[in-house]
């Protein structure tokens, strides 16, 4: 019985499992009206009896972005009902006079204040009675709300009032999210916003996962990928879906880390170009983690892999703005109607441009299992280019250039803007469209090496198979280095670690397989934000060094404040092994050659050899221009680049920069 990885994207649903010495795969169009339908259909096509299913999903993300979540109420202390709408004074677009805040997820009529107050010391200043909690729950139920986010002042120190409200709301038939469960940390607005986001998507995610669990072949257990790159049970994901917002992209980064380490590469920039968006992340020997992101205008604070996303994917729509400039994205053609070449819609996309320029082949798209209609494209591209006096070919090349410029900016955000030179890293490319643009992107960034793994179009699904079970725990402590030494700090981790071990036991992880990682959020006293520091022998010195590396200075005489203790519990799972072939063959077998076809490169038509990637052997060398076709993706090796197949089956491309 197999372990199956599933990734549901905006355009395609990918399914993969280990089968003998290789992998069995299924890739099929997503079903946005009912995402579970594509997953269950794909599992049926796979034709294996799964031992368990590991799933990454965009359902929670899409519910937030498209504002299609549940009708949600917000319950806070009386007088603090509008915290969720007021937010912070930060202005993301400082000089944009027409900038407007995203509408609050909770309208004013659904914000409720309740009696009771806990002080900053965790003492009850004013009690909340069961009768008052029941009255508040009835008011929420009468409002028509389906879900409620409860966020009371300092509940991370004393959660009893929130728990009382939660019990009353649940008895009234309301889905409940408590801030003391979702984010037991200080900073009221971020705690409230994260809890509201959870409450908003919880009924949607609960219905989706419930449908999946009911349809699992042979009742196989279902686990869900978190944004942090770790797995949790379906029950936890139904309760705390805010932790799964970046679950699909996180799977790809986890797989890249595993494949890169096996191949001897630990400095990578991951480049995941799918149908709807492009996700990039930087790996410098370990996963790059963040504690906060913004979705639908709300800060969402939860441990997550640091992934930067831009709306430029294979299905991103090309258009002209009011001044006649070419735009690509962020709107996407999605799975239905999809790109114009799918035969349904009229919107031109990056995929259409790749096909029109000869970089995709209808015969090899999804292994020949999906029909494309290239004859529709010349007229569309001619119409796109006409206002600017461009030919159809120039318009198509323009679409590709604009999309690649957006991706270049995304990589610079996670590298150059954070003190890293992209030239020191290899570009690790995956996603259904990544291989078509990876070398051009690497050249724009001065990167010499591109790596395209096996099954790139299903790589995020593969990441589910390499993920551990992960649970994160935190506690706000607010301790100064002038009164707290390292031994005191070490002792404070005890209760958190006990809670972590109990939670991993409930997840079914044997104690011998559990690893606990300690971390501190630290700052100089008086600062408003913290830096995450691993708990080492001398964390205070480590903080000074990290502060200097990030901000350019340190203040060794200043008092350091330890704001939050964190524990990451990792349950190590069994993973598919990496097997390196010792045999190398430089010459490509004739059976791997699919023949020459014309393509357009820099407005000039040239001939390029097509190869069947699945017939390539370790050691095979291919000089561009060439295209490597496989079921899930196509890889483009442009002129003046050379590819070689390594012992693990990865395509390693020398971009010949400089």
> Would you list the DSSP string of 466-505?
TPPEEEEEEEEEEEETTT--HHHHHHHHHHHHHHHHHHHH
Residue 250 lies in a domain: no
Q: Are residues 101 and 196 in the same domain?
A: yes
Residue 644 lies in a domain: yes
For 631, the domain range is 590-654
Q: Are residues 175 and 105 in the same domain?
A: yes
The pLDDT value recorded for residue 645 is: 96
Residue 130 lies in a domain: yes
Residue 614 lies in a domain: yes
Phi, psi of 292 (to 5 degrees): -155, 145
* Count of structural domains, the chain: 4
Q: Are residues 478 and 550 in the same domain?
A: yes
Phi, psi of 614 (to 5 degrees): -70, -15
Mean pLDDT of the chain: 91
Going by pLDDT thresholds of 50, 70 and 90, the confidence category of residue 657 is low
Per-residue pLDDT at 368 exceeds 80: no
Q: Are residues 196 and 151 in the same domain?
A: yes
End-to-end CA distance of the chain: 50
Q: pLDDT tens digit string along 260-286?
A: 999 999 999 999 998 778 899 999 988
Using an 8 Å Cβ cutoff, are 339 and 314 in contact? yes
Q: Are residues 196 and 210 in the same domain?
A: no
CATH number at residue 234: 3.30.420.40
Going by pLDDT thresholds of 50, 70 and 90, the confidence category of residue 242 is very high
Whole-angstrom distance, CA of residue 163 vs CA of residue 104: 25
Q: Are residues 567 and 480 in the same domain?
A: yes
How far does Cα 253 stand from its chain's mean position?
A: 8
Q: Which residue has the higher pLDDT, 356 or 47?
A: 356
Q: Does residue 535 sit in helix, strand or coil?
A: coil
Whole-structure pTM value: 0.88
Q: Where does a domain end: 537, 571, 605?
A: 571
Going by pLDDT thresholds of 50, 70 and 90, the confidence category of residue 229 is very high
- Look at strands 50-56 and 222-225 and give their pairing: parallel
Residue 79 lies in a domain: no
Q: Are residues 129 and 225 in the same domain?
A: no
How far does Cα 567 stand from its chain's mean position?
A: 22
Q: pLDDT tens digit string along 175-212?
A: 999 999 999 998 999 999 999 999 999 999 999 999 99
Helix and strand tally (H, E) in the chain? 16, 32
Q: Are residues 12 and 31 in the same domain?
A: yes
Residue 415 lies in a domain: no
Q: Are residues 167 and 232 in the same domain?
A: no
Residue 432 lies in a domain: no
Whole-angstrom distance, CA of residue 57 vs CA of residue 36: 10
Q: Are residues 158 and 241 in the same domain?
A: no
Residue 408 lies in a domain: no
Per-residue pLDDT at 395 exceeds 90: yes
Q: Does residue 188 sit in helix, strand or coil?
A: helix
Average pLDDT estimate for 463-488: 92
Whole-angstrom distance, CA of residue 549 vs CA of residue 657: 29
Q: Does residue 526 sit in helix, strand or coil?
A: coil
Q: Are residues 195 and 220 in the same domain?
A: no
- In terms of average pLDDT, the best of 10-19, 50-59, 149-158, 304-313 is 149-158
Q: Where does a domain end: 543, 571, 599?
A: 571
Q: Where does a domain end: 230, 245, 260?
A: 245
Q: Does residue 68 sit in helix, strand or coil?
A: coil
Q: Are residues 473 and 564 in the same domain?
A: yes
214 by Cβ neighbours in 10 Å (0-12 / 13-18 / 19+) ranks as exposed
């Amino acid at each position: 019985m197999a372990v199956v990885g599933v990734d549901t994207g905006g355009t395609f649903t990918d399914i993969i499992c280990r089968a003998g010495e290789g992998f069995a795969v299924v890739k099929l169009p997503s079903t946005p009206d009912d995402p579970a339908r594509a997953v269950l259909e794909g599992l049926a096509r796979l034709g294996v009896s799964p031992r368990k299913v590991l799933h990454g999903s965009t359902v929670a993300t899409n519910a937030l972005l498209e504002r299609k979540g549940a009708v949600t109420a917000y319950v806070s202390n009386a007088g603090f009902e509008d915290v969720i709408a007021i937010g912070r004074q930060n202005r993301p677009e400082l000089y944009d006079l027409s900038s407007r805040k995203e509408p609050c997820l909770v309208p004013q009529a659904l914000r409720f204040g309740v009696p009771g107050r806990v002080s900053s010391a965790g003492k009850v200043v004013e009690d909340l009675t069961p009768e008052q909690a029941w009255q508040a729950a009835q008011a929420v139920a009468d409002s028509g709300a389906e879900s409620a986010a409860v966020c009371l002042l300092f509940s991370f120190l004393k959660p009893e009032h929130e728990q009382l409200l939660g019990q009353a709301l649940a008895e009234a038939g309301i889905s409940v999210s408590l801030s003391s469960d979702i984010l037991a940390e200080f900073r009221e607005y971020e705690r409230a916003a994260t809890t509201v986001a959870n409450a908003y998507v919880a009924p949607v995610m609960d219905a989706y996962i419930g449908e999946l669990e009911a349809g699992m072949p042979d009742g196989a257990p279902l686990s869900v990928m978190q944004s942090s790159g770790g797995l949790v049970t379906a029950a936890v994901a139904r309760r705390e879906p805010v932790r799964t917002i970046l679950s699909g992209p996180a799977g790809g980064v986890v797989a890249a880390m595993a494949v890169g380490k096996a191949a001897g590469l630990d400095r990578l920039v991951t480049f995941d170009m799918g149908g709807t968006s492009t996700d990039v992340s930087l790996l410098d020997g370990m996963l790059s983690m963040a504690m906060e992101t913004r979705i639908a205008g709300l800060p969402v604070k939860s441990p997550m892999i640091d992934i930067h996303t831009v709306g430029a994917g294979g299905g991103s729509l090309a258009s002209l703005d009011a001044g006649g400039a070419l735009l690509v994205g962020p709107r996407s053609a999605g799975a239905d109607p999809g790109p114009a070449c799918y035969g349904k819609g009229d919107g031109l996309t990056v995929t259409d441009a790749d096909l029109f320029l000869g970089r995709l082949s209808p015969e090899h798209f999804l292994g020949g299992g999906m029909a494309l209609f290239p004859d529709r494209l010349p007229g569309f591209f001619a119409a796109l280019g006409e206002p600017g006096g461009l030919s159809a070919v120039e318009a198509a090349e323009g679409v590709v250039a604009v999309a690649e410029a957006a991706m270049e900016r995304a990589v610079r955000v996670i590298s150059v803007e954070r003190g890293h030179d992209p030239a020191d890293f290899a570009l690790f490319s995956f996603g259904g469209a990544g291989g078509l643009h990876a070398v051009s992107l690497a050249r724009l960034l001065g990167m010499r090496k591109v790596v395209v793994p096996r099954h790139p179009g299903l790589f995020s699904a593969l990441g589910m198979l390499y993920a551990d079970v992960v649970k994160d725990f935190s506690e706000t402590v607010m301790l100064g280095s002038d009164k707290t030494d390292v031994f005191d700090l070490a002792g404070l981790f005890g209760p958190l670690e006990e809670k972590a071990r109990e939670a991993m036991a409930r997840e079914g992880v044997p104690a011998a397989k559990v690893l606990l990682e300690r971390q501190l959020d630290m700052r100089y006293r008086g600062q408003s934000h913290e830096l995450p520091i691993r708990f080492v022998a001398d964390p205070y010195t480590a903080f000074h060094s990290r502060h200097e590396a990030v901000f350019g200075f340190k203040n060794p005489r200043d008092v350091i404040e330890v704001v939050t203790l964190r524990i990451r519990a990792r349950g190590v799972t069994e993973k598919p092994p990496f097997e390196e072939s010792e045999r190398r063959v430089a010459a490509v077998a004739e059976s791997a050659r699919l023949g020459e076809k014309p393509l357009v490169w820099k407005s000039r038509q040239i001939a390029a050899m097509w190869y069947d990637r699945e017939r390539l052997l370790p050691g095979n060398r291919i000089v561009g221009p060439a295209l490597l076709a496989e079921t899930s993706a196509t890889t483009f090796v442009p002129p003046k680049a050379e590819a070689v197949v390594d012992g693990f089956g990865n395509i390693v491309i020398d971009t010949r920069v400089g």
